Amino acid sequence: MIPIVLSVAGSDPSGGAGIQADLKTFSALGAYGTAALTALTAQNTRGVSGVLPVPGEFVADQLTALFDDLDVRAVKTGMLGGPDVVDAVVGTVRRYGVRHVVVDPVMVATSGDRLVSDETVAAIRERLLPVASVITPNLPEAATLLGIDKVTPERMAEAGAALLELGPAAVVVKGGHDDGPEAVDVLVDADGVHELREPRIATKNTHGTGCTFASAIAVGLAFDVPLPQAVADAKRYLTDALRAADSLDVGGGHGPVHHFHAAWNTPPAQPHPQPR
């Protein structure tokens, strides 16, 4: 049977990140995607201009409706908004015995601005991480979870080990904020430290990379792929989606990755016609 995977995250009306990116990733990789919304946003490829949070009680209602009816094999979380939403997710995971939980701790914008309150960070750290199969912070998010100023690429393994002490079964510290010729992520689990390397793709179309990566891991786990392989497969899928991203022409800012690069016969990118 096709496994069912659930995204608990905010909506991106431009289609590049959030719930929309998650559902595209689930579909591209052969899973049936479902979603519980935590926030509506007004955003495009240039940035976010507004956020309308969904109350935790209604997030819990969405989750109950899904789990009372569907055999959800894996859950991926993204932007959770407030402590009430974190608690709704944790309560659901515990009540229904969810086996696979992938936490993308969306906390810091590309600009470096914090997206969530101190109370929400504490709820994620203290209550959500202990039920996570794997968490996928980037460098600023790893620093926020650890309560330190900065995590450098040279200290990714050390940061991953420290995050592992907070309760998740595994940690992937993402090195996408670095600028070397390779994109290096570090997986830390009970078996030790594993580096994952792929070529760094030169493209400005990077909107939704974190959502896509975590969602791809969730699909692998839903298919009962061992975690290290699920992470490696997800990184390879994301790299290919980045490599094909310039064949899309979506917006004037940081466009989306190409989730359906393997399914669409997309022609090479063409220059915009000049006005006469």
pLDDT over 70 percentage in the chain? 93
Question: What is residue 49's predicted lDDT score, i.e. its pLDDT?
Answer: 87
- Alpha-carbon span 47 to 17, nearest angstrom: 11
Cα–Cα distance measured from residue 199 to residue 102, given in angstroms and rounded to the nearest whole number: 24
Half-sphere CA count of 100, side-chain side, radius 13 A:
26
Q: Is the pLDDT of residue 275 over 60?
A: no
For range 2-31, the mean pLDDT:
96
Q: Is the pLDDT assigned to residue 260 strictly greater than 80?
A: yes
For residue 265, name the pLDDT band (cuts at 50, 70, 90).
confident
Q: Look at residue 112 in the predicted model and tell me its pLDDT.
A: 56
209 is a catalytic site residue: yes
List 18, 82, 160, 210, catalytic entry: 210
Q: How much is the pLDDT for 184?
A: 93
- Is 206 designated active site? yes
Active site residue 210: yes
Q: 227: which strand partners?
A: none
State percent of the chain over pLDDT 90: 83
Q: Which of 18, 78, 208, 255 is catalytic?
A: 208
pLDDT of residue 47: 87
**Is the pLDDT assigned to residue 276 strictly greater than 60?**
no
User: Is the pLDDT score of 63 beyond 90?
Assistant: yes
Mean pLDDT of 249-255: 92
Nearest to 174, CA basis, from 133, 138, 135, 199: 138
* Residue 211 is a catalytic residue: yes
**Given 15, 92, 211, 239, the catalytic residue:** 211
Beta strands in 190-230 (DSSP E): 192-199
Q: Given the structure tokens 């926020």, which residue do they identify?
A: 144
Domains of the chain: 4-247 (3.40.1190.20)
Per the listing, tokens 């600028």 go with 179
Taking 3-state DSSP, the helix, strand and coil percentages for the chain, each rounded to the nearest 5, stand at 40, 25, 40
Considering 38, 45, 136, 206, which one is annotated as catalytic?
206
Checking phi first, is residue 120 left (phi over 0); if not, alpha (psi -120 to 50) or beta? alpha
Radius of gyration of the chain (CA): 18
Contact between residue 21 and residue 79 where contact means Cβ atoms under 8 Å apart: no
- Provide mean pLDDT across the span 156-177: 94
Secondary structure of residue 186 in the 3-state scheme: strand
Give the residue with greater pLDDT, 80 vs 81: 80
Q: Among residues 21, 14, 18, which one has the least CA distance to residue 45?
A: 14
pLDDT at 227 over 90: yes
- Report the candidate in 182, 157, 183 with the shortest Cα–Cα distance to residue 172: 157
- Answer for the pair 196, 188: CB distance below 8 angstroms, yes or no: no
**Identified catalytic residue from 92, 174, 175, 212:** 174
Q: What is the mean pLDDT of the chain?
A: 92
Among the listed residues 209, 212, 220, 239, the single catalytic one is 209
Residue 201 has pLDDT above 50, yes or no: yes
pLDDT for the residue 196: 95
Per-residue pLDDT at 76: 98
- What tens digit of pLDDT does each residue of 98-150 get? 999 999 998 876 545 567 889 999 999 999 999 999 999 999 999 999 999 99
Question: HSE on the CB side for 147, CA within 13 Å?
Answer: 9
- Please say if the pLDDT value at position 176 is more than 90: no
